[in-house]
Chain A
Amino acid sequence: MSAIYILWLREIKRYVRSRAQIVASLGQPLLYLLVLGFGLGPVFQKSGNGSYLQFMAPGVISMTILFTATFSGIAMLFDRQFGFLKETLVAPVPRIEVMIGRTLGGATVAVLQGTLILAVCLIAGFRPAQLSLFPLAFLFMGLIAIVFAALGTAFGSILQDMQGFQLIMNFMVLPMFFLSGALFPLNNLPRPLAIITRLDPLTYGVDALRGVLINGSHFGLALDVSLLCGIAVAFLSLGGYLFSRIQL
């Protein structure tokens, strides 16, 4: 247990200490939120869907968590390259504990980052529909974070160099964001797109957050929660398995 804690703590320390990185990572979500939120707002409103800022805020929070969590796992590449990974791999600690410590650390950082964006959303004019459901938002942010931190760990365990990193960013992470319904409603989509969005784990995270923040869940919270939990278990197992097989 103490091994999990110390490795979790390491991730938190790294996050808190890199202020420049925190500010830099806020840039992209802010662009989406402000430019798309206010730019597409009038069109969205005219089509009868209400405020685009309200609609998009849960999406942008999910996006922040997706990026931060996946990246934290893939950042294992840097530990591989600077050698610290070895130190943890020969330690007399089951590798699954090392993996869980790292993954939970990355997930916690992602939730912190998501909370920052949530705060920015509130400042920009976002208002949650029901305050009583507001605390639940953190539960779902946590679930999304664990799902993608575990996926990131799985990727980080098999990637050998930075080229693979680009591949994953462009062909896994970005599509997951764009196909999750973070930016558009899931009603009346063309059939192929509707199918693909349902295969994207982030879809259910965004949907759950919308459920608790703006009462706008498409699938229903029960389905979202059970799917997210199932995916979290699957990705944690996959990450744990691949991590335990790392050879240096």
Chain B
Amino acid sequence: MIKAQNLVKKFGDFTAVKDISFTVEGGEIFAFLGPNGAGKTTTIKMLTTLLTPTSGKIELDGLDPTIHKNEARRKFGIVFQDPSLDSEQTAYENMELHAVLYKVPRKVRAERIEQLLTLFELWERRDDYVKTFSGGMKRRLEIARGFLHTPKILFLDEPTLGLDPQTRNQLWTHVKKLNETQQTTVFLTTHYMDEADRVAHRIAIIDHGGIVAQGTSQQLKQQTNSESLEQAFLALTGASIRDESATSTDQMRQVARMWSQRR
């Protein structure tokens, strides 16, 4: 369903993704784990047509997303790591806009929006502007929005960042259900090893832009003689802490935050 072959992405002199290859079968839940700055988000961006690879081949359900962009975009849905909501519109309007963009049939639109907003406990606040929401509520709305249409492939880029255990539980239950009933292929990244251990059929560990290990949770533990996935992860990627350099987007967000505080 998802295939990457010798995928490389360079930003100037810096190589963010170094020659990685992996395959995700249809109906599989695949976890992509790695420390900060390992190249997870860059890989997802290349898979979802937001970035063009420097070299290498990608296939999404048999389509090359660098060539057949629109057709490829029809195959997947994505929940981003950082915010992507329109804060000047209400929660309901955000859902509606997404439904129109993703061509959710008009008949089921209202019903499905109500269902998902209720599931993630946002229905009461549906007519409030997103700018009045707390961080957790925004995350929940992003996730609810991601489930609005039922794509063949679902990308989840650190979806549980900053969520309470209740919502995390709700999220993974829903993901599993989608995977079982609709055969949705799921490609996820997370920093919580227990989550990956719980839902993922197969795991790839990426570090410094390259894949260092691939296999089931069981195989990874055996390979490193560890008892938990977390130990295996640390054994494979080392214990040193990584710094991500701030991108221009991060810097702009900081400026924007200063501005909004001043007002």
Asked if B48 CB lies within 8 Å of chain A CBs, one says yes
B73 at the interface (CB under 8 A from A): yes
In the bound complex, do residue A84 and residue B85 qualify as a contact, i.e. CB atoms below 8 Å apart? yes
Which of B51, B102, B251 makes the CB contact (< 8 A) with A91? B102
- A87 and B256 alpha carbons, distance in the complex (Å): 19
Report the bound CA distance from A87 to B100 in whole Å.
Answer: 12
Q: Which residues of B contact A7 (CB under 8 A)?
A: 97
- CB contacts (< 8 Å) of A90 on chain B: these are 48-50, 73, 76, 78
**Complex contacts, B89 vs chain A, CB 8 Å:** 10, 13
Docked complex Cα distance between A18 and B93 (Å): 17
Least CB separation from B73: chain A residue? A92
Stretch from A75-83, A126-134, A203-211, A228-236 that touches the partner: A75-83
- Residues 39-82 of chain A: 1 if any B CB is under 8 Å from the residue's CB, otherwise 0? 00000000000000000000000000000000000000111111
Inter-chain contacts of B85 with A (CB < 8 A): 82-84, 87
Q: How many residues of B contact A (CB 8 A)?
A: 36
Q: Quick check: A82 and B101 within 8 Å, CB to CB?
A: no
List of A residues within 8 angstroms of B10 by Cβ: none
B80 within 8 Å of A by Cβ? yes
Q: How far is the CA of A2 from the CA of B105 in the complex (A)?
A: 12
Verify A88–B45 contact, CB threshold 8 A: no
- Shortest distance between the CB of A179 and any CB in chain B (Å): 31
**Contact assessment for A92 and B70 in the assembled complex, using a CB-CB cutoff below 8 Å:** yes
Q: Is the CB of A91 within 8 A of B86?
A: no
8 contacts between A and B (CB under 8 A): A10-B89, A81-B249, A81-B253, A83-B85, A90-B48, A92-B101, A247-B52, A248-B50
What residues make up the interface of A, taking CB atoms closer than 8 Å to B? 2-3, 5-7, 10, 13-14, 17-18, 77-84, 86-95, 160-162, 247-248
Across chains A and B, which 5 residue pairs bring their CB atoms closest together, nearest first?
A91-B101, A83-B84, A92-B74, A92-B73, A87-B84
